[in-house]
Structure formats: structure tokens, C-alpha cells
Amino acid sequence: MLHAICIRAHGGPEVLEWQPVEVGAPGPTEARVRHTAVGLNFIDIYQRTGLYPASLPVIPGREAAGVVEAVGARVRHVAPGDRVAYVSSTPGAYAEQRVLDAAQLVKLPDGISDEQAAAVMLKGLTAYMLVRRVHRLRSRETVLIHAAAGGVGLLTVQWAAHLGARVIGVVSSPDKAALARRHGATEVLLTDEDWVAGTRAFTRGQGVEVVYDSVGKATFAGSLDCLAPRGLLVTFGNSSGPPPAIEPLELARRGSLFLTRPTVFDYTRTPAELARAARELFDLVQRGVLSVHIGQRYPLADAARAHADLEARRTVGSTVLTVNAP
């Protein structure tokens, strides 16, 4: 009997239940994948709490790696036995097996392990989106990255440094500050300090060209304060709650600022876009430019504990939920 984590009511980590499920045969354009590793992301928490509503019951999870078990008649780019990974626009990854649209699958190169792929797909494609698509980061630009020792944050720090940017990271502890520095941050500030003043001091009052903010409500106003004229605030997460509304004229008053709220799914809408992004991501991982820091592992059945630790900021880097063969 196959099992999955199911949500039948919105709430805290306790609503994540390990239950038996049935997994059917794939349709003509689908594939059935046996998961070996599943990625943990804040989007899973947003769905569990109801911030991102979904019809219940639902199996959460948007990224995983595994082995193709079966494919539909019209699927050509993957075959049974292939090692694959994916980021899905629909939930369902917290399961031993699942059926999904085969167009979302990316074949894994030999140099990328299943755990690396599960730890890096959504986070790495998000970092790619941030520094290569939403804003094509250039050498000598200065950027501020919140949660710089987290899964997405640490990858974004490394990628930005690789592109020649000066990186200011904001983290919650000295240990996380040391981690961010080791991965390329030029300056690191603590959340319980005046990081706006620290940013202004580091940039000699000029501000930064870009702020990458995954925290949301608690940091939104300060992030705007850190921007140089014509600067860009990229808000891409809500770990402290959704950011407040803002009047367009406020952006003008602050120096003709830009504000965007992207999602990775809009930047990998076509198979060609997904393949290009994954190719660049995996190349940097294999070359050692991007270090995939897996800070903790939990059995998939223990997803509730993983959620609690992520929400309490007890995690560093990426978190992987491990899956035993059924």
C-alpha cells in the first residue's frame, strides 16, 4: 500500500497526516514517478495554513526527485527507469508515488544526486528567476538578500556573487551569518539589528539596486527604505505574513521605485524555458559554483516536525524529506 501526507483541514503542522493512498496509471501525457526525495518549501506551509487556498483534502509539496515507473502513450522525453526531478504547479509531492504531467519532468544528469535535485529544484529555479530573469544581475551591482542562509537565500547569495554582485545578507543568528559569508556574502546583518541603517552605511547612503525579500510583512517597509532611486524590490515570499498594500504614488515618492511579485511557474511556463533554466542550474551545481547545502533531513512521514522546524527558523539551507521504497 502506498502512503502520502494528506491535509484535510487547514492549520498547524499537526494537520499533516500520513495516510494510505491509491495511485492510478498515467494518462497519455502523464508519468508515474516513484519518489526518492522530496523538497520542503515555504509554499507548502502557505498551503497548509490556507494562505494559498486549495480544495481539501490535498497532498502538499511542489518538488521532488525520483524514478519514472510508467509513462503515457504520448510521452517521449522520459522513459521508465529514468532519474528525474520536477517543480510542479500543482501540489502532490509529499507521496511515495504520484502521477503528473510529464512535461514538468527534467532528466537528471549523472553528477546530480536525487537528494541534491530535491533540495535545489524549486529553490534553485527560484534563484535563477531572481538573478537571471526578473532582473539580470550585473557585476558590481549591490543587492540585499533577506533570509540569506535559507534554502533560496543561500543559493541566491552564491549565484549573485558568481555574477560579480556585492551581496548584503540579512539573517537571524551569528551562525547563519557565518554560513552566508562562507557562501559569498560581502556583508551580513542580523534581523534584530537595524539592518536598514546597516545597509545605508554599507552603501554610503546610496542604497541598493535590488532587494530580494522572501520574508514579507515584517521586512517590506524596511526593504523599500534600503533601495536606491529606481531600485527594484522583488517580493517573492511571505514567511512573516503577506506584505501590506502600497499606493503606486508611494513608489514615485521614494525615487521611482519598481516592485514585482514573481512566481517561478511564470518563468518556466514552456518546456523550453524549463529546460534552459534547469540546464543552467545543474551546470552551476556540477561545476561547484552553487553548493547545495542540505542542512537537515526528515522521513517523509515526519513532515509535521519538518514544518514546525522550518516555521521556527530552526533550519539552515535546504531541507529534504526522505522516502523509503514502498
Q: Are 319 and 151 in contact (CB under 8 A)?
A: yes
Compute the average pLDDT of residues 16-31.
98
Instruction: Give residue-wise pLDDT tens across range 49-81.
Output: 999 888 999 999 999 999 999 999 999 999 999
Strand pairing class (187-190; 166-171) = parallel
Q: Which residue spans of the chain are classified as CATH 3.40.50.720?
A: 139-261
* Average pLDDT along the chain: 96
Q: What cell does 264 get? A: 517561478
Q: How confident is the model at residue 313 (pLDDT cuts 50, 70, 90)?
A: confident
Q: Which residue spans of the chain are classified as CATH 3.90.180.10?
A: 2-121+269-322
Tell me, what's the pLDDT at 53? 86
Q: What cell does 91 get? A: 501540489
Q: What is the three-class DSSP state of 176?
A: helix
Tell me, what's the pLDDT at 54? 87
Compute the average pLDDT of residues 156-173.
98
Asked if pLDDT for residue 188 goes beyond 90, the answer is yes
Tell me, what's the pLDDT at 93? 98
Asked if pLDDT for residue 149 goes beyond 90, the answer is yes
Name the CATH architecture for the domain at 139-261: 3-Layer(aba) Sandwich (3.40)
* CA 174 remoteness from chain centre: 23
Asked if pLDDT for residue 155 goes beyond 70, the answer is yes
Instruction: Give residue-wise pLDDT tens across range 237-293.
Output: 999 999 999 999 999 999 999 999 999 999 999 999 999 999 999 999 999 999 998
Q: Are 123 and 152 in contact (CB under 8 A)?
A: yes
Tell me, what's the pLDDT at 317? 85
Tell which CATH classification among 3.40.109.10, 3.90.180.10, 3.40.630.40, 3.40.30.10 matches the domain 2-121+269-322: 3.90.180.10
Q: How confident is the model at residue 326 (pLDDT cuts 50, 70, 90)?
A: low
Please count the other Cβ atoms lying within 10 Å of the Cβ belonging to residue 72: 16
